[in-house]
A = this chain, B = another copy of it.
Amino acid sequence: MNKIKVLIAENFDVYRHGLRSILSEAPAVSEVYAVRSAKDLVQAYKKSPDSVCIVSSNIEGSNIHDLMQRLEKVQPAPKVIVLTYSTDVNHLNQSLKAGVNGYLMKNCTTGELESAIKEVAKGKQAFSKSVSQMMANKYVDQAKKTGSVSNKLTKRETEVLKLIVEGHTSPEIAKMLFISPRTVETHRSNLMNKLKIKNTAALVRYALEKTEIG
């Protein structure tokens, strides 16, 4: 197997230095190039489209989805590993949807990082332990929920939920959204039915812990 070229895109100084330092010493890696922004990454990728890209979840200048599209214009199947700082489930989902090949937590070990790069270079996928455990748990959770997998909320429901989380009562929300208080309560009702939740407290907790609200 040929040695692997790696492109790092990370706008935080310390972390970028850390990645470069570790990967420079990795035997499987031949070249390491580090940039700060999404724009620079795309530029660099044009010059060496056979690289494995390591991208920070909070990369400056783009979200993962757009970044992937830009990379795909250069080369149809870019190899991208996302490194994340948070345990935000939404971000993971978005990244997977965007088609990334790996997803590691910021606190991964040198070993995890290296093996992930090797796997992705081979065309496989790579997830850090905590991420794959989390995915497994979610899968079980979903299955438990009577099989109905997509408990996605509608726009309006999300809107209402957001206002509930912000501490507004139903009448207040009604005024804000220019709808009837009853309608707000219908939305509350539907939210709770969908989420198998029985009161406001649990609803707020759900929103803060399992959605991008908050």
Interface of A is mostly: helix
Binding site for B on A (CB under 8 A): 12-22, 85, 106-110, 113, 164-169, 197-205, 208-209, 214
- Are A167 and B18 in contact (CB-based, < 8 A)? no
For residue A18, which residues in chain B have a CB less than 8 angstroms away from its CB?
13-19, 21
CA distance A110 to B13 in the complex (A): 6
CA distance A55 to B164 in the complex (A): 39
Closest 8 CB pairs of A and B: A18-B18, A167-B202, A14-B18, A17-B18, A204-B204, A17-B21, A13-B110, A21-B21
For residue A166, which residues in chain B have a CB less than 8 angstroms away from its CB?
201-202, 205
- Are A14 and B15 in contact (CB-based, < 8 A)? yes
